[in-house]
Amino acid sequence: MASFTFFYLHALLLLSLATITFSHDLSPSFYNHVCPQALPTIRCIVEDAIKQERRMGGSLLRLHFHDCFVNGCDASILLDSTPTIDSEKNAGANNNSARGFEVIDRIKFEVDRVCGRPVVSCADILAVAGRDSVVALGGPTWEVKLGRRDSTTASKDTANSNLPNPLMDLSKLIENFKNQGLNIKDLVALSGGHTLGFAQCFTFRQRIYGDKDIDSKFARQRQANCPMNGGNSSLASLDPTPAYFDAKYFKNLVKKKGLLVSDQALFTGGQTDDLVQLYSRNHGAFSNDFAKSMIKMGDIKPLTGNNGEIRVNCRRVNYY
């Protein structure tokens, strides 16, 4: 009897989803009438999660970024492995690194509860949580365009090929972002997201032991917690204030204190030097361009209309 009740309720749930009319265009007002409580609920949970652990803000922002660069902003990064899904969580850039999934689970549960049904996609939750994390840590706000739907597939291989590598030089970074429809200004502005968060030792070991284009004192300080062998998961902040959205990431680049090879690549005498200089001096310019580039990134190949689905559980596809 319990089994019958579960499947009956699940069928009703999916039927209710089928009655929702979805637009083919993203809009900041997408949920205004469907569920006006959705965005305030997301904001409250994000703020609470960051209050408990300020590092979580950078982690949630990174989830949105790592989602969008793999077949578009479709919440594919949230899917767990199954016999038919090769989870992106196991890709090199995400394995033992991507975090914040439990916060997304909590948001999904609470949003569905206040909305009375699963009407808000996991992809939109990622986009809004990324914005709210930046705001909670002192950064700019922007209107998040909404109405994305969730993918029913994931691709570890695509994640491995599409996500920027911490060892990339400037030409490869430019090409990587161009493949996503993003230009050089987007590259520099979005790289500024590294004003938040940390990196693991194995991602910057080559830089602090092998690079000549690095401040020697900075290198020695990082070597203290990142030995030549072992300690792969030891953390170092990506800028001096990893829980505050500021311009110190760019100030560090000018001083040859970028933590990753791909960070310092933005200031090595190339075509991005002027933007790095500007952002290092003008926090307002950085904040403004970052917000614009986040909106642009959120437009990468979204699923809309009848494409994809609204997942009941962000970690699993729905079963009809």
The domain 182-297: what is its CATH number? 1.10.420.10
Q: Compute the average pLDDT of residues 36-48.
A: 98
Entry field: residues in the chain: 320
Chain mean pLDDT for the chain: 93
Lowest mean pLDDT segment, chosen from 22-31, 82-91, 119-128, 267-276: 22-31
**What's the DSSP call for residue 246?**
S
Query: pLDDT, tens digit, for every residue of 195-213?
Result: 999 999 999 999 999 999 9
Active site includes 10? Answer: no
Q: Where are the chain's structural domains?
A: 2-162, 182-297
The per-residue DSSP string of 121-184 comes to -HHHHHHHHHHHHHHHTT----PPPB--BB-S--BHHHHHHHSPPTT--HHHHHHHHHTTT--H
Q: Which residue has the tokens 């408990």?
A: 52
* The pLDDT value given to residue 17: 44
In angstroms, the Cα distances linking 115 to 6, 40, 154 are 20, 12, 27
* The pLDDT value given to residue 41: 98
Share of the chain above pLDDT 90, in %: 92
Cα(35)–Cα(23) distance, rounded to whole angstroms? Answer: 15
* The pLDDT value given to residue 24: 62
Two structure tokens written together for 211: 């690079």
**Is pLDDT at 273 greater than 60 in this prediction?**
yes
Which among 72, 100, 281, 85 has a CA at the least distance from the CA of 196? 100
Q: Which residue has the tokens 């994809």?
A: 308
**Is pLDDT at 175 greater than 80 in this prediction?**
yes
Query: pLDDT, tens digit, for every residue of 76-123?
Result: 999 999 999 999 999 999 999 999 999 999 999 999 999 999 999 999
**Is pLDDT at 239 greater than 70 in this prediction?**
yes
* The pLDDT value given to residue 72: 98
Q: Is 134:108 a contact under the CB 8 Å cutoff?
A: no
* The pLDDT value given to residue 46: 98
β-strand partners of 85: 82
> 64, 66, 194, 283: which one is catalytic?
66
* The pLDDT value given to residue 319: 84
Instruction: Judge whether 2-162 and 182-297 match in fold.
Output: no
* The pLDDT value given to residue 2: 41
Q: Is 131:39 a contact under the CB 8 Å cutoff?
A: no
* The pLDDT value given to residue 25: 87
**Is pLDDT at 18 greater than 80 in this prediction?**
no
- Give the side-chain half-sphere CA count within 13 A for 151: 21
**Is pLDDT at 8 greater than 60 in this prediction?**
no
* The pLDDT value given to residue 7: 35
Question: Would you place residue 320 in the very low, low, confident or very high pLDDT band (cuts 50, 70, 90)?
Answer: low
The domain 2-162: what is its CATH number? 1.10.520.10
**Is pLDDT at 233 greater than 70 in this prediction?**
yes
**Is pLDDT at 246 greater than 70 in this prediction?**
yes
